[in-house]
Structure 1
Amino acid sequence: MARLPLSIHPIPGETAMSLASRLAEVNHVPMREFLRDMGIGINSLIAGEGAAVSQLAELSGVPVAELRRGTPRTSDGQVWFAGNCFPAARVGGRKVRGCLDCLKGQPGLRGIWPLPFVTICPEHNRPLVTLWTIQDKLDRHDVTRRLPDLDLAPEGRPEPRDPSKFDLWWLDRLEGNTAFDHWLDQFDLHASAQFCLELGRAAIATTVPKWRALRDDEQWWPADVGFRLCTGGEEALRVALADLQHLMGRPEEGPRKIFGGLHDLLAADLCPKELRPFQSILRQHILKTWPLAPGDEVLGEPVLRRESISLSALA
C-alpha cells in the first residue's frame, strides 16, 4: 500500500487511531469514511491488530515499529502495552484522558494515557485530565474532531506537581527499566500497582474517613502510600500490616473490617495468579495475628490448624 501524497508528521507515542484521525483530516475526509475507503477495519485498528496498524503505517509513512509502540493491543479481554498486560476493562473506556500541554504542542492521543495508574504526564509534570466522554468507540478517538472544542488555554490546565515515587517507578517499569531496584520489580506490574493502591487506601483510612472521596488532585496519593510501605521488602510490609491492624480496630472486628479493599482484592474467588504472592503474604499475616481455628476461612482458603498468636498481636 503506497504512502498517501498528503501525509503527516509522526508524534512519539501516538496511537494508531489518533494517527488515523489526523491523516483523515489532512486528506479532507471524515475518519470513518477514510478507514472504509482505505480498507482498514475500524474494530481491527481500535484493537491495535498488527495488519491494520501496518496498513496505516504504510499510508502515513510513519515507521510501523513506532506506531505499534504507541498503540495498545487488545485481545481476549486483555490489553498489551510495552510488554505489560492489563485487564481490558481497566484501560480506556468512554472517558478519554490526556495532557493538555502535550495536545497544545502536538495534537495526538498517546497510548500511555488510557492505562490504569497513569495520572501524570512525565514530560510536563501536569496531571492528566478527562478530555471528553464519548460512547462511540470510533468517535472517542477522533482527536481532530474533538480538539477544537477543547480549552487549551494555560489558565484552564491543572496545577503541575512533582511525580510521586510510585509515578516514577510505574513509568520506569513501562519503559522496561528497573532503576529503582524495588522489591516489587519481581512481580507483575499491574498486580503490584493494584496491591499498592489498596494497601495505600487502607493506610490512608487511618487518618482520612473512608466515606470521604478523594479529590481528583489526590487520586495519585493512595498508590504512592502503598508503594512506600513496600519499599523495605516483605519484612517491612509485614510490619506495616501489623501497624495498620492496630490502628484500624480490634481483632474481633475481623480482617475485612481492618483491611477493607485490600482484603476484598485478595479474597476474590478466582484470585489472579499475578496477585497470589500478595495474597499469600496477607493470609500468613492474618493466620499469625488473629485467633482463628479449623473451620474458619481466610482469603478463600480454609484454616487447617490453629496458629500460635502472640499477646502483642491481640493487644
Structure 2
Amino acid sequence: MFSPLALRLPIMPDEPPVYFLSRLAARNFMKARPFAMDMGFTFNGVERGDQTAIDTLAAVSGVSVADLNACGSRTVGDRIMLKGQLLDLNSVRRARVQACPECLRHDVASSDLPSSVAMYGRVQWMLNSVETCEKHGIALVTIADKLPECECQDWSPAAASGLDDISALVKTAVARRPSRLEGYLLDRLNEKPAESWLDGLPFYAAEQTARLFGTMALFRDSTTPFSLYDSNKYSAGEIGFDIVNGGPSDILSFLTDLKRDQLQSRHAAGKKTAGPAPIYGRLYSRLTLMDDPAYNPVRDILTEHIMSHFPMGPGDDIFGTPVTSRRFHSILTLQKKYDKGDRTVIKILTDEGLLKEHAGNLRDMLFDAPTTERLMDHMVKSVSLAEAQKRINVTANVMNTLRKDKIISRQCTESDATRDRYSIVELDDFVRRLFVDAQPVDSDSANAVCLMDASARNRCTISVIVKFILDRKLPWVGSRNDVRGVASIRVNPGDVSQLLARQVPIGVHAFEAGTYLKIAPPVIRRIADRGLIKGTCYVDPLSGRKKMVLSTDDIERFNAEYVTLFNLARAMRRQLSQLRAELTAQGILPAKETIGVGATFYRRSDVPFGN
C-alpha cells in the first residue's frame, strides 16, 4: 500500500486525471512521466484509463478513485471512451494545448498554490472540435503546440511555459459564443438532451460529419477539415452543424444545391459531365475512405441522393457497393444500354415529348428509368403484327382474339399513331407466363388438347382459357415438345368445363359475418351449424374445399333477435361480470338454444335495454 504524499492538491471540477497527475508531479517538483514511474505506475496507463494506474494515483494523491474516473478517458480498442462518449484519436488534442485565459486567471487568483499548479486543464479543452470557452464566451488560446511525444498531455509544464502574461491573453482573446457544433458536443459530453439527428451517431462520427459538411459548404475541395484552424474551423463547425442537425431532409437539400453549383462551375470551365465523385469532392472521397460502419447513416443519405440525382445503375458502385437497380437514365446510359448513337436517342426522346423544353447540358438531364426503358423497348425492341404472330406462334384469328380481350396489348407511338407495334419483352413474358406450370407431353389425348379444341368443346373463347392459365386456376397445363410457342400449350377440356360451370352461392363467409356482428368467426360457424343462421355449402372451384356462405338477410334477422353479453356490456359501458349479475338477479338468463357455442347470447326481447 502507498501512503499519500506530503505535497498534495485536490482534483478540480472537470479535470481529467492525466492533467491532475501533471499538476501533482509539478507540486512535487517533477515532470509527470518520471514522477509516475517513481510512484509505481505509468503516465500512459493513466492516459489510457488503466484501472491499476488510477488506483495507484488515488493512493498517492489522497483523491478518491471515483473523482479520478469522473473525467477520465479509457482506451477501447482503437477508440477512446470519455464520459460515456466514444471518441477517436482525431477527437483529442495531444501535441497541442489550448485553454481559456480567463479560466486560468481565475484559477491563479482563487488559489494559494503556485500559479504553475494552480492552473488546471478542463476535460473539454482536450476535445479537438471545441475551441471556445462556454463559461466566459471567448476563444481558447494556444499555449503550446507541436509538443514531442514525451511531453504530450503533460499539462503543467506546457501551461507554465506558455502563460507569461495571462492578463494580456485575456485582453486579446476573441469574444464569441460557442459554435452550434461546440455547444452540441459539450451538451452531449455533459449528458444534456440535444435532440439532434447526430444523436444516432457516435461522438467522433458526429463531430467529423458536421465538420466535413461545413468544410465542403465553405471551401469546397480547397482544404480538408483537419487543416482548418481558429475562425475557419469555428465557421465550418457552425455551418456544418446547421446542415446535418435536421437529418436527411436538410442534408439532401444541401446536396442538391451543391450538385447544382458544381455543375454550373464545371460547365463554365468547359468540363465534361461528371459522376458523384467529382461533384461531391472530398465529401464523397472521405466517406469512401472511412469504412467505419458508424458513418453508414451518412453514406445512406448520400447514396439516396446519388441514386435520385445521377444515372446510376448496375455496373456502377457507390462507396464501393455495387448498384443493383436503376432509377434514372441519361442520354449516355441509354446509348450504352441500347447500342444507339446519341442523335438516335435524342430523336426518340424528343419525338415522345421528353425533350420538349430543355435547358443546360443535355447530357446532364435525367429521365425516369422505367418510363424511358419502356419507351426505348417499344421503339428498339418491338415488332409488327405479322412478326408478333410468328414470334408467339398463333394464327391471325387467335391474335385478334387476344388483342380484342387485351391479353396482348398493341402499342402506338405519339409520332406514328396509325402503326401497331408489339413489344418483344411483353410477348416473351406472355409466353413465359403460359409455361410456368406446363408439364411436357409427347402427344395429344382426350385429356390433353390444344387451345383451339378446348375452346370449341367448351364453347368459349381462347381468351377465357388463356386467362385461366395466366391466373393459374387450371389444375393441369401441358406443352408439346415438338411445337413452339402458344400452339404447344395443352389443357384438359374437363378442367375448363368445371371452372366455367361452377357458381359460388350468394352470401358472406363467417369472417365477414363475424366482423359485422362483432362475434368471433368460430362462434358464427357453430351458430350456423345449429341452424340459427341459414347457410349454404358449396365446393370452392379453385381449392376444391367445402365452404359455407351465410344469408345476409338471416344475419340481419339473427342480429335483431339476439345480442351477446360482450356487445351489450360494451354498448352500455358496463363490466361483463356486473352486467351478468344484474341480469341474473332480474331472472334474465341466456338463450338456451345458444348455450355452448362459445359466447353468451340473450334474446333482445328478454333484456329491457336489449335494443
TM-score range, shorter chain: 0.7 to 0.9
Partner residue in 2 for 1:201: 215
Structure-2 change in CA distance of 1:30 and 1:117 (3 Å): closer
Match of 1:128 among 140, 149, 167: 140
Partner residue in 1 for 2:465: none
Gaps in structure 2 of 5+ consecutive residues = 108-118, 267-272, 331-357, 367-611
How many angstroms apart in 1 are the aligned matches of 2:258 and 2:316?
22
- 1:210-229 superposed matches below 5 A: 210=222, 216-229=230-243
Match of 1:237 among 226, 251, 257: 251
CA-to-aligned-CA distance 1:30-53 (integer Å, 9 cap, x gap): 434422221122321232212212
Structure 1 counterpart of 2:180, one-letter code: K
1:162 aligns with 2:174: no
Structure 2 counterpart of 1:236, one-letter code: D
Partner residue in 1 for 2:129: 117
Partner residue in 1 for 2:296: 276
Partner residue in 2 for 1:174: 189
Partner residue in 1 for 2:166: 153
Structure 2 counterpart of 1:12, one-letter code: P
1:261 aligns with 2:282: yes
Match of 1:290 among 310, 315, 320: 310
CA-to-aligned-CA distance 1:230-263 (integer Å, 9 cap, x gap): 3433223222211221122259222222222221
Structure-2 change in CA distance of 1:205 and 1:6 (3 Å): closer
How many angstroms apart in 2 are the aligned matches of 1:249 and 1:20?
55
How many angstroms apart in 1 are the aligned matches of 2:208 and 2:32?
36
Structure-2 change in CA distance of 1:214 and 1:141 (3 Å): closer
Where 2:242 maps in the other structure, the secondary structure is helix
Partner residue in 1 for 2:100: 99
- 1:182-201 superposed matches below 5 A: 182-201=196-215
Where 1:149 maps in the other structure, the secondary structure is helix
Structure-2 change in CA distance of 1:136 and 1:253 (3 Å): same
1:65 aligns with 2:66: yes
How high is the TM-score relative to the length of structure 2?
Answer: 0.47
Where 2:195 maps in the other structure, the secondary structure is coil
Tell whether the 8 Å contact from 2:312 to 2:328 is kept in structure 1 after alignment.
no
Residues matched between the structures, number: 311
How many angstroms apart in 2 are the aligned matches of 1:284 and 1:27?
59
How many angstroms apart in 2 are the aligned matches of 1:237 and 1:141?
37
Runs in 1 of length 4+ with deviation above 4 angstroms?
Answer: 211-215, 309-313
State the structure with more CA Rg.
Answer: 2
Structure-2 change in CA distance of 1:61 and 1:105 (3 Å): farther
Structure 1 counterpart of 2:190, one-letter code: E
Q: Percent identity?
A: 28
How many angstroms apart in 2 are the aligned matches of 1:190 and 1:142?
23
What is the RMSD of the two structures over their aligned residues, measured on CA atoms? 2.7
How many angstroms apart in 1 are the aligned matches of 2:189 and 2:31?
33
Tell whether the 8 Å contact from 2:25 to 2:32 is kept in structure 1 after alignment.
yes
Tell whether the 8 Å contact from 1:195 to 1:262 is kept in structure 2 after alignment.
no
How many angstroms apart in 2 are the aligned matches of 1:192 and 1:253?
29
